[in-house]
Structure 1
Amino acid sequence: MYLSLLIMLIVGVLVGIFGAVLGIGGGMIITPILTLGFGLDIKYAIGASIVAVIATSSGATIAYLKDNVLNLRVAMFLELATSLGAIIGALLTGIINPLFLYLLFGLLLFFSGFNMVRKLWGHSRETGAAHDDRLATALKLDGSYYDKQLQKQIDYHVTNVPGGLSVMFGAGIASGLLGIGSGAFKVIAMDTFMQMPLKPSSSTSNLMMGVTAAASATIYFLNGSILPQIAVPMALGIIVGAAVGSRIMQHLSAKSIRIIFIPILLYLGLQMILKGFGVTI
């Protein structure tokens, strides 16, 4: 019993660190560990992963807000599209063929992974868009942050707001229809489409994940999918890990974060495409 609690606490710390650094939820790590390692029913594993996302967001967002790394206006603006998409996705359950969405978003993840490879080799800017965007300027979405790794203030412009909104709306539909997390899509919307620097993209994604997960956590709690004996120790570990990860991220280079993020994107893309054909890995 105590050994299992200790393992869940350690797993929580690791999930919190990676989640804070990359701006993604811990479902892809927690769910297989709980189902395969502990023999837990998938229903309770998903409930624990929802709590994990909220804990990661809470632990990391505090530090990112304090250091002014995340872009609060972008977060709230994109969250409108995600929430609307999630509602529509829930309403479309049973109408749209999930195969189409799995393939579409799997290909989008592959595209974003290869786009990050291109940026990794220095063929794209790491400091945001080069030019002003009228819509982004009107909405005051541009931002700045102090990069602790580069030891300088970075001012950046946001661009292609409709593209970012479209990705977030689609990710919301996928979340509502397929029951998947959308942390990776949040980073994609900001980094790939809106050309924000990777660090603000990752930290802003952390805040948005918590908002999205909190909306569905009540449902999971009421239907009994969240087991306190599983969720509590894992959440405690995640909060500690997220606080540590948020500090680590600010001292990493954008190149290092991409090196970690690229294989995860490609794995998620492959997983979604295979799921579309009924294969689970």
Structure 2
Amino acid sequence: MVLLLTAVAPCVWGTTYIITSELLPPDRPLLAAALRSLPAGVLLVVLVRKLPQGSWWWRSSVLGVLNIGVFFALLFIAAYRLPGGVAATIGAVQPLLVAVLAAGWLGEKLTRTKLTAGVTGLVGVALLVLQAQARLDLLGVVAALGGAVAMACGVVLTKKWGRPDTLLATTSWQLVAGGLFLTPIAFLIEGPPPADLTLPNLLGYLYLGIIGTALAYTLWFRGVHLLPASTTAILGLLSPLVATLAGWALINQDLTPGQLLGAAIILGTLALSALRTPRSVAPTSQHVASTTGNGR
């Protein structure tokens, strides 16, 4: 059940590309990133009515900048400047990055199986989404790669540090920290929000903020704490899979035999990873110490 609920998050994130291209105003990636994070974080803080204590002020800020601020900004820059397939393919290096970082920072064993799963998943994503006519934009490529690095570091640090309070509370702190990081940058670079936002624009921002951020990140961080970091990262392969299927179902993009083969490889990689995932994963000793008193 933990695995399935965690998988909901990358499935939802897979819709980001089509929402960005079809509903959001053009050329405002930082605005999209800020509106996706800060309102959702403030809403969750109001609901949980808890603030960080002690070292968790700076830890929440670090995690918020990595998982939310930097990642969201680079994600939307890549989404605006690259075809969704190219951005998703570059982002699919994240499982490999997480496996390497988790070995060094968490002591998780860097097995041949993990490396094979990461490489196989990357091949599947490439078959699924890369097209011969896909254009390459240097800034977009750098942004997509930088987003994968930021998210990989954030996932491993989230696992390493555990959480000192409820899931909603720690998620809200990160969203607010990331949003506060993004908002002044968005105003300085892109200026204030446009005055002529349409209803589809507003619906797109609402969907990304409530479903794509508040709900998805709550499920994602729960999985990060309860599953091995490398297993959580492999689930990220669902994002480009859903992105491609959404394009096929909603805007009539064709699926080629190569894409179908790529989808089969991704699903096979996920199935094998799920079979090798232990039913229950013991938290790190620090996480146990920090959560003993909150009912977990």
TM-score normalised over the length of structure 2: 0.37
Q: Determine which structure has the larger helix proportion and give its number.
A: 2
